[in-house]
Structure 1
Amino acid sequence: MTAENEREIYHKLEAMKEIRNKTITLERLKRSILNEVRSGDQEGRCLAQYKREMELLQQEKMSHVEELRQIHADINAMETVIKQTEESMSRKLSTAARLHDDYRPLKSEVDLLRRQCLGLERLPDLHEEEGSPITPDRFPSLPASGRAAPFLPPAPRKPPPPPPAFRSAIQQDFLTVSLRQQPPPMKSCLSCHQQIHRNAPICPLCKAKSRSRNPKKPKKK
């Protein structure tokens, strides 16, 4: 074999070695490319799922935003209702207080006429009425429970002052009939010394039993 043939064979061997090494490297690159593509495709599918999940989360967020908006609207509406109710309550209680200012002196006058003219007890106070929503501390001027109004004995046969303009027709009729009647016979209570009806068995003011100063003596058999 000549030297030229040996060199040619040597070059071929070197070329085959180079081709083999490069082929191995090429296969590695090909496998890497395929692996990266497959991995990229997998990531792409995951990315699509993630984006879908993000869309669902955004929708849920918007639904909660709408719920919060509705809640805030309900809160604002309820605050308006509360404010209107408070104003209405304040107006009604103020009106009740003003009416009570008119009621109290008229009731005192009616109670006085009942005692003077008819020997009757006073009418129950507002808080003493059965089923009444009024408590003794509802109005500052409301008398305490069970305490009778002070009795002021009038001058004999002196009519009371003319009725105020705000009295109802029933109250006016009651006062008119009372004024037309003659004052009943009176006597002094032995306990509280107030004027009461002569035939009253119990003092309507102090609740003491009324006794005659000159009791009848029993008849002798």
Structure 2
Amino acid sequence: MTAENEREIYHKLEAMKEIRNKTITLERLKRSILTEVRSGDAEGRCLAQYKREMELLQQEKMSHVEELRQIHADINAMETVIKQTEESMSRKLSAASRLHEDYRPLKAEVDLLRRQCLGLERLPELHEEEGSPVTPDRFPSLSASAPRPVSFLAPAPGPVRKPPPPPPAFRSALDPDFLTVSLRQQPPPMKSCLSCHQQIHRNAPICPLCKAKSRSRNPKKPKKK
């Protein structure tokens, strides 16, 4: 074998060795590429699931935001209703107190007339009536400062000249029969509210139904100088 043939065989062996080493490296690179691609695809599928979960969380967040907004709106509306109800309650209780100021002296007079003229017991108090929402301490200030009834009879006994009898067609206002009929048949003095047209007490400063100020239909005319 010549030297030229030996060199050719040596070059072929070196080339085969190099090809073998590079082929092994190529296979390793190929396996690495396939592994990374498979891992990337798996991460991509996970990423799609994560994004879907994020969308669901965002939707849930928006639904809770809407719920919170509605709750805040309901709270604001309820606060308004509570404030209006408190104001209405205050107005009604104030009106009841003002009406009670007119009621107590009038009841005291009626009780006095019933006791002195007819020998009857007093009328029950508001809190003594069955089913009444009024309690004894409902008007404490009025109860403490209520005026005492004034006697309409002569304070000192003594010889009193008997008045002449009235005409047959006239009956004394102090006649027991006349008082009994009057107390049973005559309604309290009433007037019509100019706002709601309901019948209210003549001396009521405001209408207990519509809370409008009471005005007289025929106000007194100023006297001419």
TM-score range, shorter chain: 0.5 to 0.7
Once the two structures are superposed, residues 121-142 of structure 1 have per-residue CA deviations (whole angstroms, 9 ceiling, x without a partner) of 1111110001111111111146
**1:83 offset after TM fit, Å?**
0.5
Alpha-carbon distance between aligned partners in 2 of 1:201 and 1:84, rounded to the nearest angstrom: 23
Residues 27 and 171 of structure 1, relative CA distance in 2, 3 Å threshold: farther
How many pairs are equivalent? 220
Moved more, 93-102 or 182-191: 182-191
Write out aligned runs for 1:177-216 (5 A).
none
**1:219 offset after TM fit, Å?**
73
**1:6 offset after TM fit, Å?**
1.5
Moved more, 136-145 or 177-186: 177-186
**1:180 offset after TM fit, Å?**
15
Preserved contact between residue 111 and residue 121 of structure 2 (Cα < 8 Å): yes
Once the two structures are superposed, residues 14-49 of structure 1 have per-residue CA deviations (whole angstroms, 9 ceiling, x without a partner) of 110111000000011011111111111111111111
Preserved contact between residue 95 and residue 208 of structure 2 (Cα < 8 Å): no
Alpha-carbon distance between aligned partners in 1 of 2:80 and 2:223, rounded to the nearest angstrom: 83
Preserved contact between residue 121 and residue 204 of structure 1 (Cα < 8 Å): no
**1:2 offset after TM fit, Å?**
1.9
Output the TM-score relative to the length of structure 1.
Answer: 0.66
Alpha-carbon distance between aligned partners in 2 of 1:164 and 1:71, rounded to the nearest angstrom: 78
Task: Give the 4+ runs in structure 1 shifted more than 4 A.
Answer: 141-155, 157-221
Output the TM-score relative to the length of structure 2.
Answer: 0.65
Preserved contact between residue 185 and residue 197 of structure 1 (Cα < 8 Å): yes
Once the two structures are superposed, residues 158-186 of structure 1 have per-residue CA deviations (whole angstroms, 9 ceiling, x without a partner) of 99999999999999998697799999999
Residues 36 and 150 of structure 1, relative CA distance in 2, 3 Å threshold: farther
**1:55 offset after TM fit, Å?**
0.8
Unmatched segments (≥5 aa) in structure 2: none
Secondary structure of the structure 1 residue equivalent to 2:191: strand
Preserved contact between residue 117 and residue 183 of structure 1 (Cα < 8 Å): no
% identical equivalent positions:
92
Preserved contact between residue 126 and residue 132 of structure 1 (Cα < 8 Å): yes
Alpha-carbon distance between aligned partners in 1 of 2:100 and 2:153, rounded to the nearest angstrom: 22
Q: CA RMSD in A?
A: 17.7
Unmatched segments (≥5 aa) in structure 1: none
Alpha-carbon distance between aligned partners in 2 of 1:86 and 1:123, rounded to the nearest angstrom: 33
Moved more, 174-183 or 64-73: 174-183
Alpha-carbon distance between aligned partners in 1 of 2:154 and 2:195, rounded to the nearest angstrom: 16
Secondary structure of the structure 2 residue equivalent to 1:30: helix
**1:210 offset after TM fit, Å?**
48
2:49: which partner in 1? 49
**1:4 offset after TM fit, Å?**
2.2
